[in-house]
Amino acid sequence: MLEDSAGELSLLLSKCPQLGEHTVAPPALRPFEGMGTAAHHLTALLRGGCNDARAHAALGNVLVREGRYLDAVEAYRAAVELDPTFAQAHIATADLSYILRDEESASAHIASALWLQRVFPDPLEIGSRTPVLLLLRDAPYAVNTPLEMLLDRSAFALHKVFVDTSEPLPELPPYAVAVTAFGFARDAAAERAAAFLRASGSPAVNDPERIAGTARERLPETLAGIASLVAVPSQRVPRDELVAGDAVTLVRPADSQAGEGLALVDSAAVLAAHLERFPSGSYHVSPFIDYRSADGWYRKYRVIFVDGVAFPYHLAIAPRWMVHYQSAPMREHAWMRDEELTFLADPRRAIAGWDAFMPAIARAVGLDYFGIDAAVLPDGRLLVFEADSGMLVHDEDPSDVFAAKRPYVARIREALTAALRRRAGKDAPSGGSKSPA
């Protein structure tokens, strides 16, 4: 009976290889033709007593595609409990745990996965797709550059190698171009990626040695000298040296992203409460610069650079100073969406110095692919909050009200596709040997 179920499972997985895409970023997974039938067979196998880790992981993969992340992470946890050596299932569990804000579990599972292996080839047949090697930090997908959310996976095979290690990497799958796919962090990733690229001579996107220039405390220096541009100054302060001053400041755990743990501090009491809620060994501290527009709304523009060319990606408008696209009331207000589309179609109307600012920023940062978040101050200067090669770019916003944005996201995808193919030459794979790093 168990042998029969194992055989049925193997046959199902061979017919539906998508069920084995465990190392793909969860939001990049979509339903596929025949998924309902495959899910029915999986459920029947599990109910019939099949206790194969592959079946639980395959069920988790289906649940991810259905958007049921809580159920999916439980299925993947069952898989790694049955088979602790199932590295791909550990990766999926780490990614889902991170999305669900269980960072302790995410860290544990990524560590387990990378103790077992560090190279994860694209789980589907390569075929005619251009193979790309993503150089990643030892972290879940969202901490790295989530290129699976942007690139067309029918055109590119994405191999993953995690580089935060002093050990030589094992044999790599053939690839045509390598991408340093992470933003700045205080670990060994950039150094290791740079050593790998120097030794391998691989065609590459993003010089790891330029990433340090995007660190919060380094960005003002990186962008210094660009007329009418202000980069938010930031200091890294140890916890025991952090005290509330007279000025209003912004405080966040050092190297945190997406506004996690970011607070406006205007008193010792607020600071003490914030440090207790978001403990860290050190914090980034910045002055609060009021960038409110004349109409009382706050506007934050995201611009993506590909090979020196700037592409408007989105505009978020909100009533409060901490602006995030997901929490901004863009869905509720048609005028906001109209203004965003105007920015996407003609960014010079929103940022008067676009033609001077953007080439200067591209040269100063020196990365092939990165983004900035910025605002326009009342006097017309450009206020840059951050520059990062790990910014999220996707076209997954609900199509009912945001469909008009998709052509503008497509321009970024097309530019990055062209950049990768230029570096890949005729798409002839290279690599596939022992890492020289």
Q: Give the tens place of pLDDT for each residue, 235-257.
A: 888 888 877 665 778 888 877 76
pLDDT at 1: 47
62, 26 Cβ separation under 8 angstroms = no
Q: Within a domain: residue 16? A: yes
pLDDT at 411: 96
Let me know whether 198 and 93 are in one domain.
no
253, 260 Cβ separation under 8 angstroms = yes
Let me know whether 139 and 178 are in one domain.
yes
Let me know whether 194 and 254 are in one domain.
no
CATH of the domain at 377: 3.30.470
Q: For residue 116, how far is the Cα from the chain centroid? A: 23
pLDDT at 252: 82
Let me know whether 66 and 158 are in one domain.
no
Q: Give the CB-side neighbour count of residue 15, counting CA atoms within 13 A.
A: 14
> CA angle, 56 as apex, 395 and 170 as ends, to 5°?
75
The pLDDT of 91-119, averaged and rounded, is 95
Mean pLDDT score of the chain:
90
CA–CA distances in Å: residue 10 to residues 42, 47, 81, 85 = 11, 17, 20, 18
Structure tokens at 255: 């190297």
Taking the C-alpha atoms of residue 236 and residue 223, their distance in angstroms, rounded to an integer, is 18
The pLDDT of 209-230, averaged and rounded, is 94
> CA angle, 162 as apex, 158 and 165 as ends, to 5°?
160
Q: Within a domain: residue 124? A: yes
- Cα-only R_g, the chain: 23
Of 126-130, 220-224, 239-243, 346-350, least confident by mean pLDDT is 239-243
pLDDT at 433: 39
Instruction: Please count the structural domains in the chain.
Output: 4
pLDDT at 332: 93
Q: Within a domain: residue 60? A: yes
437 confidence band (pLDDT: 50, 70, 90): very low
Which of 63, 97, 117 is a domain's end point? 117
